[in-house]
């Protein structure tokens, strides 16, 4: 029997790369919002590593929305 890998598991790293690329460009956010984005990014990675991919995607989406991506 084979098990399909959840789609969420592969989407999280892609989302993290998009966030990292946007952060590298120096987004025009307030210091407070920039800290929130970084916090969401870190939380998303931790959730991904813990196997909580749906939760990870939800948190990473918050960061992406704040960055406009």
Summarised one tens digit per residue, pLDDT across range 6-58 is 555 678 899 999 999 999 999 999 999 999 999 999 999 999 999 999 999 99
DSSP, res 30: -
For residue 68, what are the CA distances in angstroms to 11, 18, 26, 52? 18, 11, 13, 24
Q: 67: exposed, middle or buried (C-beta count within 10 Å: 0-12, 13-18, 19+)? A: buried
**pTM (2 d.p.):** 0.85
pLDDT at res. 41: 98
Whether domain 7-67 has CATH 1.20.1270: yes
pLDDT at res. 8: 54
């Amino acid at each position: 029997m084979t098990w399909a890998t959840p789609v969420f598991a592969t989407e999280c790293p892609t989302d993290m790369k998009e966030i990292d690329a946007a952060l590298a460009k120096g987004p025009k956010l307030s210091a407070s919002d920039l800290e929130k984005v970084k916090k969401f990014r870190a939380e998303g990675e931790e959730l991904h590593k813990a196997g909580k991919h749906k939760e990870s995607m939800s948190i990473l989406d918050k960061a992406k929305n704040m960055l406009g991506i």
